[in-house]
Structure 1
Amino acid sequence: MQLKIVLAVLGIVGGSAIALAQTMQSNHGDGMDHVTHGQDKPADAFGLTEPGQGAFAALSEVVRFLEADPETAWSRVDLTGLRAHLVDMDRLITDTVVSETELPDGISALATGDIETRATLRRMVPAHAAQLMRDGRWAVEVSVLENGMELRVTSDDPAVVARIKGLGFFGLMASQDHHRKHHLMMARGNDVHAH
């Protein structure tokens, strides 16, 4: 019994000594001292590419691009408009409620949500459908409904039909990689599809 007590005391004392030694070295381990983070390194020296939340990251990337471009017409820059579009993108992905119906040749997606989401859908879906229409492998139709939007995408090619069904509403809305170019155009104050 005494041996067990002695071993328990030694374990507690030994563990406390290790914890105390680690605490006294610094506030954190190597590289974890918040006070000295970035004091002698430029922002991108860390190799990080994502400066926080998605919309903030997109704005930050555009600002860096505009600042690096000597041709930027600062009097036309519209980061407030870009921010509004990024809010729409977030609302589209997080707040939209979608009911998809598989068709023999594609899908019909009924998209709805609260009043703000429905307003977002009316701005985003037709504009993105125009981008989808540039791909000649499928046909795209958009209808405004009382409580939202309908996106119908179809094809005669079975491989494309499988792709449409695999993408679904949200995948189709995220496809056609034009977003970064579109964001830069908006930030520069160009009137690109009516957002």
Structure 2
Amino acid sequence: MKRVPLVIAGLAILAIAAVPAYHLIAATHAETAHSGSHSMHSANDGSSLPTEGGQSAFAAIAEIVDLLEADPDTDWAKVNIDALRDHLVDMNSLMLEAKASSAVENDTIKFQVEGEGKVLRAIHAMVPAHAAELNKTGAWTVQAVTTSTGAILTVKTETSSQLEKAKALGFFGLMATGSHHQPHHLAMAMGMMQH
């Protein structure tokens, strides 16, 4: 019989000792929850949102999807995100895997661009189309001819400073020149143009 009061007393001591630990855990949890909700609040008000989607093709597609969702006139029956993705794959192949060399003769630079498989397909799809866009800038006269191994991009300049700029940009810099890419991507995603 004397053991029962001792057991009760022991349990009472354990309970009393556990109260501060419980309060410490609860306080830590509350602080973490508060910090988390504060972080979420900050994220929700736009003051600390990340801007990178994690990978450039993913981010480009996410941006286009956001624009399409924000436009009440989007015709979802025509939207073709797969075509945009195929184009982004070509952009990646061209920029990271194509081989380019150049030769300068007087006021003209000739870029020999080569690749195999998916890279060759990307060269054939992109270089002639981009040459047409470069011609719209007025800075150079650009011509592209496809070959069995890739393409030849010819850039004719009118001044020595244009020639220096074209040489400095090189093939890959020229391919990235111009602000037509974004509207082109949106039109492609909206089904308004073919890849």
- TM-score range for the pair, normalised by the shorter chain length: 0.7 to 0.9
Query: What percent identity do the matched residue pairs reach?
Result: 38
> Cα 1:173–1:38, aligned 2, differ >3 Å: closer, same or farther?
same
2:184 counterpart SS class:
helix
Normalised by the length of structure 2, the TM-score is 0.76
The CA distance in 1 between the partners of 2:119 and 2:177, in whole Å, is 20
Q: Say whether 1:84 aligns with 2:91.
A: no
How many corresponding residue pairs?
165
What's the counterpart of residue 99 of structure 2?
Answer: 97
What's the counterpart of residue 183 of structure 1?
Answer: 185
Query: Following TM superposition, by how much is the alpha carbon of 1:176 offset from its aligned partner in structure 2, in angstroms?
Result: 1.2
The CA distance in 2 between the partners of 1:54 and 1:124, in whole Å, is 18
**Which of 110, 119, 122 is the matching residue for 1:120?**
122
Q: Say whether 1:58 aligns with 2:72.
A: no
In our comparison, the structure showing a higher alpha carbon Rg is 2
The CA distance in 1 between the partners of 2:166 and 2:180, in whole Å, is 18
Per-residue CA distance 1:16-65 (angstroms, 9 max, x = gap): xxxxxxxxx89xx9xx98xx974884395523211110000000001111
Higher helix share goes to which structure?
2
Normalised by the length of structure 1, the TM-score is 0.76
> Structure 2, unaligned stretches of length 5 or more?
1-27
Runs of 4+ in 1 over 4 A off after TM superposition: 36-40
8 Å contact from structure 1 (residues 107, 168) kept in 2: no
The CA distance in 2 between the partners of 1:185 and 1:38, in whole Å, is 34
2:72 counterpart SS class:
coil
> Structure 1, unaligned stretches of length 5 or more?
1-24
Query: Following TM superposition, by how much is the alpha carbon of 1:81 offset from its aligned partner in structure 2, in angstroms?
Result: 0.4
